[in-house]
Structure 1
């Protein structure tokens, strides 16, 4: 009888599978959209290729056009600074010599990338969609 009471006093063990937390989206691959300046209204096409650097950063290669004809390329490492329900938050900072430090903060899902940027003389947005 004493051993039956001891068995009843043991904690209940559950064999239910734990529910997985929603994972952050993977951003690998090619994206396209546009950039726009808040300072002067300039805008142009923008393309980006995202390559993962482990679980907490991406190498992002941007290419686009300024003033409709002047091409530019820009590569940076964007650090993952937060994740949530299907969303990842990224941040980057890169010194560009006489142009000051270029800072970017972005929110991304599986299909959309929306970033703000600031530099010494400009600020604006990058808006991209997965291709």
Structure 2
């Protein structure tokens, strides 16, 4: 009985997460994505962290997987607000799963340079009822790989490259 309740809770939690994420995604991401790809392709010396990334995600908890795109941009200080940390970046993720579902979310994480061509990305994002989303990644050249974990038990990987 307890296993059935736990399975039902996970199914409802994943359904609610899908609904929340699908609400966050939209046409603006696609417009921004196309602009970022064009800007990166026309740049003589593209930034090693910012811009578009594309690849896949995989849940190690349940085997769910799909396509993943991410736009990375520096967080700018706004007038009247405390200045943003120099190494703070906004990660805007857009994922697909199944054949019909898609969604996205954004999170601000610090990026720390480690060596000549390596950057570490580590942080936590609170996602309401779904607890905390922990993100631990590494950018090396044109590869961006990360591990994620959430309070509801899901954990997995992101594997991305430059488009």
TM-score by length of 1: 0.75
Normalized per residue, the structure richer in strand is: 1
Corresponding residue of 2:90: 59
Question: Aligned partners of 2:113 and 2:142: how far apart in 1?
Answer: 17
Equivalent position to 2:67, from 33, 41, 45: 45
SS of structure 1 residue aligned to 2:114:
strand
Equivalent position to 1:33, from 31, 38, 55: 55
Note the alpha carbon deviations across 1:74-109, whole angstroms, 9 max, x for none.
101121245223100011211111111001000102
Corresponding residue of 1:15: none
Structure index of larger Rg? 1
1:41, distance to aligned residue in structure 2 (A): 0.8
Equivalent position to 2:102, from 68, 71, 74: 71
Gaps of 5+ in 1: 1-24
Q: Indicate whether 1:127 and 2:159 are aligned.
A: yes
SS of structure 2 residue aligned to 1:98:
helix
The count of aligned residue pairs is: 107
Question: Aligned partners of 1:88 and 1:68: how far apart in 2?
Answer: 33
Question: Aligned partners of 2:88 and 2:160: how far apart in 1?
Answer: 18
TM-score by length of 2: 0.61
Question: Aligned partners of 1:82 and 1:123: how far apart in 2?
Answer: 25
Corresponding residue of 2:130: 99
Equivalent position to 2:143, from 89, 106, 112: 112
Question: Aligned partners of 1:44 and 1:68: how far apart in 2?
Answer: 9
